[in-house]
Amino acid sequence: MASEVVENVSSSGCGHDHDHGNHEHYNDPTLASCCERDERDYARAMALKRLLTAHDPTSSAVRSRQELFQPPSQTPQTRAASQMTRSGDAHVIDNHAGSDDDSDDDLDDGLDELFAARRQQLEAQVRLAAQSVADGFGVVIESDVTQLLQELRATPEVPRVALVVSATTSSAGETNAALLRAMAAVARKFLGTKFVRVAVRSGDAAMRELRLRSAPCVAAFRNGEQVDATPLDSKASLADPATLWEARLIPWLT
């Protein structure tokens, strides 16, 4: 709006449209008065433009936006405060990163300790299992009657279970094979009991010493004496091997 007023005022009169290149017009009184009037009109137009611009809402809004988006000048105090804030933030970030690193290190140390403890436990179990096998525990050992009698006298405190089969008949029957598998599984659980398989002949004196009436059978020994003997007859062949262990022998196992 202010520019339109200036254009209207400037276009009135001869103003700046006169050709001053012609030196003959310099001494013309009419032309001189016209130029003076144009200069006065132009000065009034500029003053009016400044007045209108000062009260123009659009111009005020432009100045306000410029002031809002112009960053304030920093004094030495504000610059120092800004630097302290940035350094403080960096210190907090460094401390946080350091605490994360410490937490990761602590976690790694804890896991290493757990793995080391578990490894030692497994190694101890392996050593114990190897020693148990070497001592005759955790497995089914093939033995003979004479050796069984000697061990019962030498170490009566060790419980024993013997699968006694006949030396004159085949020991590859399904019942004997199933009982042998069941005995091997139980031997791995009861590491305080020795499990053996022995073959005897009918009428052998060792049968009387072991107080066994017939073979095949499964016998349990405690304190060097036979405490239970289960004949493997036709009735036993109908029973599940696990049932025989649970019903007759489990109470004697350690």
How does pLDDT run across 39-54, given as a tens digit for each residue? 888 888 888 777 777 6
Whether residue 63 is found in the same domain as residue 150: no
Strand, helix or coil at 222? strand
Q: Which residue has the higher pLDDT, 106 or 5?
A: 106
Identity of the amino acid at 231: P
Distance of CA 18 to the CA centre of its chain: 91
Q: Which of 36, 38, 48 is nearest to 10 (CA)?
A: 38
Length of the chain: 254
- Rounded to 5°, angle at Cα 227 from 223 and 232: 135
Report the pLDDT value the prediction gives residue 19, as an integer from 0 to 100: 46
Give the dihedral sign, CA 110/116/118/120.
negative
Query: Whole-angstrom Cα distance, residue 40 to residue 149?
Result: 145
Strand, helix or coil at 1? coil
How does pLDDT run across 105-161, given as a tens digit for each residue? 666 777 788 888 888 888 777 776 666 565 667 888 888 888 889 999 999 999 998
Query: Whole-angstrom Cα distance, residue 3 to residue 53?
Result: 9
DSSP annotation of 24: G
Report the pLDDT value the prediction gives residue 7, as an integer from 0 to 100: 46
Is residue 155 included in any domain, yes or no? yes
Most confident of 17-31, 93-107, 128-142: 128-142
Whether residue 144 is found in the same domain as residue 61: no
Is residue 78 included in any domain, yes or no? no
Query: Whole-angstrom Cα distance, residue 151 to residue 108?
Result: 52
Whether residue 231 is found in the same domain as residue 146: yes
Whether residue 149 is found in the same domain as residue 230: yes
Contact 252, 244 (CB under 8 A): no
Host H or E run for residue 194: strand 194-200
pLDDT band at 37 (very low <50, low <70, confident <90, very high): confident
- Decide if pLDDT at 5 tops 70: no
Query: Whole-angstrom Cα distance, residue 242 to residue 113?
Result: 41
Q: List the structure tokens of 129.
A: 């299992």
Query: Whole-angstrom Cα distance, residue 160 to residue 252?
Result: 9
Is residue 76 included in any domain, yes or no? no
Is residue 241 included in any domain, yes or no? yes
Query: Whole-angstrom Cα distance, residue 250 to residue 254?
Result: 8
Is residue 128 included in any domain, yes or no? no
Is residue 35 included in any domain, yes or no? yes
The total domain count for the chain is 2
Whether residue 145 is found in the same domain as residue 61: no
Whether residue 239 is found in the same domain as residue 147: yes
Q: Which residue has the higher pLDDT, 117 or 247?
A: 117
Q: Which domain holds residue 10?
A: 2-15+22-69
The mean pLDDT of 217-239, rounded to a whole number, is 80
Q: Which residue has the higher pLDDT, 91 or 197?
A: 197
CATH number of the CATH domain containing 172? 3.40.30.10
How does pLDDT run across 57-87, given as a tens digit for each residue? 666 666 665 555 555 555 555 555 556 556 6
Contact 214, 245 (CB under 8 A): no
How does pLDDT run across 169-226, given as a tens digit for each residue? 655 466 677 778 888 888 888 888 899 998 888 777 878 888 888 778 888 899 999 8
Whether residue 150 is found in the same domain as residue 248: yes
